[in-house]
Amino acid sequence: MTTRARDALLLAPSGLIYLVLLVVPLLLLARTSLLPAGPNAPLEGPLSVGSYTALADSYYATILLRTLRIAALTTFFTLVLGYPLAIAVSRSRGGWRTVQLLLLVSPLFVSVVVRSYGWILLLGNRGLVNTLLVSTGIIDAPLQLIHREGSVVVALVEALLPFMTLSIVAVLDRLAADLEEAARGLGASPFQTFLHVTLPLSFPGALSGAVLVFMVSLGSYATPALVGGARIRVMVTEIYTQATGVFNWPLAASLSLTLLAVALVLATLSRRLAK
């Protein structure tokens, strides 16, 4: 049997699954986005780009901008926090390294719904922070901490930090430790060593982590829905509302494709940047 025939046989079952569950649905989504939009819109009619003109509305422009801003801030903060963690992991050995990796991976095992719930318990009007501040008399009335863009970013950073850290660790592990030692031996301060040696050499890992975190933040639903609430609407929560609340499937589809297009363009650009 030739390699090509063998590969075809091995790839056929999963290929079929991807065709039925991913490729066909996305094509259908693209077609639906070209149907006339409106509440309870039927899934037929003349094809046009009509539903996309709704995106010119400032309401959707605001939502798209907010989605991008939240994703960008999340990416930035995971980078800032991910570096020290990654350096600590890549410098430790044996059991301590396993413990750190477990600590890093364990949040991934807790459903994002549960972790968002944790942030509500912490930041809500009757949450831990407000209870403590009011009972100690520092403030009189609860602060509005939840349902803010900032709290969504905080919750997303917590959820996605492990992805960023593991991406940087993967590169740092392959980086020769003697390069850093040489820099130190030649009189560079730890900060200079980080800035001129560690940072440039680990850039590919940070970049792939950044792309991953950015894409996953763009697509996350549970965190903005629970921590952001109805006030902080982002693309995915809007898509969900359009699809299940008003049954405007063409608009939900065009919003989906816009989000996919933005994500793919940014991912491609950053891949160019890496070269």
Partner 1 sequence: MSRTLRASVGMIYGFLLFAPLIVIYYSFSPTVLLEVPPTTLTLRWYGNLFEQSRLMNSIGASIVIAALATGVAITVGVPAAYALTRSRRTVLSSLFLSPLILPGIVLALGLLMAMSIAAPSLVGSMWPLIGAHVLVTLPWVIRTVSANLEIADPHLEDAARGLGASPMETFFLVTLPAIRPGIVTGAIFAFIVSFGNFALSLFFASGRITTLPVAIFEYIDQFQDPTVAAASSLVIFATTLLVVLATRAKKMELP
State which of positions 150-189 bind partner 1 (CB under 8 A): 155, 158, 161-162, 166, 170
Closer to partner 1 at the Cβ: 50 or 248? 248
* Residues ≥6 apart with Cβ < 8 Å to 250: 32, 33, 34, 35, 36, 37, 38, 41, 50, 51
Closer to partner 1 at the Cβ: 53 or 98? 98
x/- map, 49-78, partner 1, by CB under 8 A: ------------------------------
Selected binder of partner 1 within 7, 62, 195, 204 (CB under 8 A): 7
Selected binder of partner 1 within 37, 85, 146, 171 (CB under 8 A): 85
Task: Report yes or no: 42 and 212 within 8 Å, Cβ to Cβ.
Answer: no
Selected binder of partner 1 within 34, 64, 236, 251 (CB under 8 A): 236
Q: What is the DSSP string of 4-70?
A: HHHHHHHHHHHHHHHIIIIIHHHHHHHHHTTSPPSTT--S-S---SHHHHGGGSHHHHHHHHHHHHH
Amino acid identity for residue 66 in this structure: R
Q: Please state the closest distance from residue 48 (CB atom) to partner 1, in A.
A: 18
Considering only residues 16 to 35 of the shown chain, the ones binding partner 1 according to CB under 8 A are: 17-18, 20-22, 24-26, 28-29, 32
Selected binder of partner 1 within 45, 240, 247, 266 (CB under 8 A): 240
Number of H helices and E strands in the chain, helices first, is 15, 0
Amino acid identity for residue 13 in this structure: P
Q: Is 265 in the site for partner 1 (CB under 8 A)?
A: no
x/- map, 96-115, partner 1, by CB under 8 A: --x--xxxxxxxxxxxxxxx
Closer to partner 1 at the Cβ: 10 or 179? 10
Selected binder of partner 1 within 184, 221, 246, 247 (CB under 8 A): 221
Rounded distance, CA 205 to CA 58, Å?
37
Q: Is 47 in the site for partner 1 (CB under 8 A)?
A: no
Q: Is 146 in the site for partner 1 (CB under 8 A)?
A: no
| Cα–Cα nearest to 171, from 195, 216, 196, 207 | 207
Angle between helices 203-219 and 149-172 (to 10 degrees): 150
Q: Please state the closest distance from residue 90 (CB atom) to partner 1, in A.
A: 11
Task: Give me 202's structure tokens.
Answer: 């680990």
Q: Please state the closest distance from residue 46 (CB atom) to partner 1, in A.
A: 18
Q: Tell me whether residue 149 is exposed, middle or buried, using C-beta atoms within 10 angstroms of its C-beta: 0 to 12, 13 to 18, 19 or more.
A: middle
Selected binder of partner 1 within 36, 45, 142, 219 (CB under 8 A): 219
Residue 41 has phi, psi (to 5 degrees) of -65, 135
